A and B are shown apart, each in its own frame.
Chain A
Amino acid sequence: MKKNLPWLLWLWISAVIVGAFYYAPLAAKFIGKSSRILYFHVPMAWVSFTAFIAAAVWSVLYLMKGRQERHDRAAAVAIQLGLLFGVLAIVTGSLWARIEWRMWWNWDPRQTSLLISLLFYAAYLALRGAVDDPEKRGRLAAAYALLGIVVTPFLFWVMPRITFSLHPQPVVNADGKVEMDPRIFQVLLASTFAFTALFFWMHNLQCRLQALVARKTDEQE
């Protein structure tokens, strides 16, 4: 069963791609077919958020459970992937903004808050690169990633809701309601699940790869 899970994911994401174009209708008040990007942009932003929160959780585990290297590695990989998905969210968002606002970038609160968030986590990687001692690096990086528990929800959820923004309403709006066509919501939800699963698969592969590299390096020394 476990062996077939990646194939299930392949089928799932393929169905999302087809569903985004042939099942979900075009969203109202959007220019042309620009709303199709929603099924890729929103899940990427979601995965980025999930990755940063997961990194904070692994950092707590690192600090609380005897400074195990695997927890430190898991946190660092989550942040690397969170940055990757965050950049993809920015790129897909800019493509949409070019069609809808006639500008690639206009410092909208949502664009800006995601950018600040990515810069915050890029600094995490810089911090890791600046410390040679693994024990000290793990401790400092974990403390920094823990800050993300406050910073990330504020930038992803609070900031865009307390400032005026041209960005379309979030999936769950300020009144706590989902106001969109059910078929759009179904494909969006399916896409979000699929990209979250893809993130955890990539995370697992990258952690195993780094563990192997560390083992081989130890063997050579």
Chain B
Amino acid sequence: MDVSGGDIWIVAVNLIIWTGLFLYLLRLDRRLREMEREP
């Protein structure tokens, strides 16, 4: 596994984009759960 090449930046950007989307969805999930509990 060679992590010295230029691919590391592409992997890093992909991981940042994915983590951003994931955190957004997670937050939405929590918010929806709260709102569903509201009478």
Contact = CB atoms under 8 A, between A and B. Distances in A.
A208 B36 CA distance: 9
Contacts of B18: 10, 13-14, 17
B14 A22 contact: no
A18 B36 CA distance: 37
A84 to B, nearest CB: 12
Contacts of A6: 22, 25-26, 29
Interface string B15-39: 1001100100110110010011000
- Shortest 10 CB-CB distances between A and B: which pairs? A17-B14, A21-B7, A22-B1, A10-B22, A208-B32, A21-B11, A205-B28, A13-B18, A212-B35, A6-B26
A202 B26 CA distance: 10
5 contacts: A9-B22, A10-B22, A13-B18, A22-B3, A208-B36
Interface residues of A, number: 17
A205 B15 contact: no
B22 to A, nearest CB: 5
Interface of A: 6, 9-10, 13-14, 17-18, 21-23, 33, 201-202, 205, 208-209, 212
Nearest to B23: A10
B32 A205 contact: yes
A18 to B, nearest CB: 6
Contact-residue size bin, chain B (C-beta under 8 Å from the other chain): 10 to 19
A205 to B, nearest CB: 6
B19 A212 contact: no
A21 B22 CA distance: 21
A26 B26 CA distance: 34
B7 to A, nearest CB: 5
A205 B29 contact: yes
A21 B12 CA distance: 11
A201 B35 CA distance: 18
B25 A201 contact: yes
Q: Which of B1, B14, B36 has the most CB atoms of chain A within a 10 A radius of its CB?
A: B14
A6 B28 CA distance: 12
Contact of B32 (A9, A18, A209): A209
A192 to B, nearest CB: 16
A14 B11 CA distance: 9
Contacts of A18: 11, 15
Contacts of A21: 7, 10-11
B7 A209 contact: no
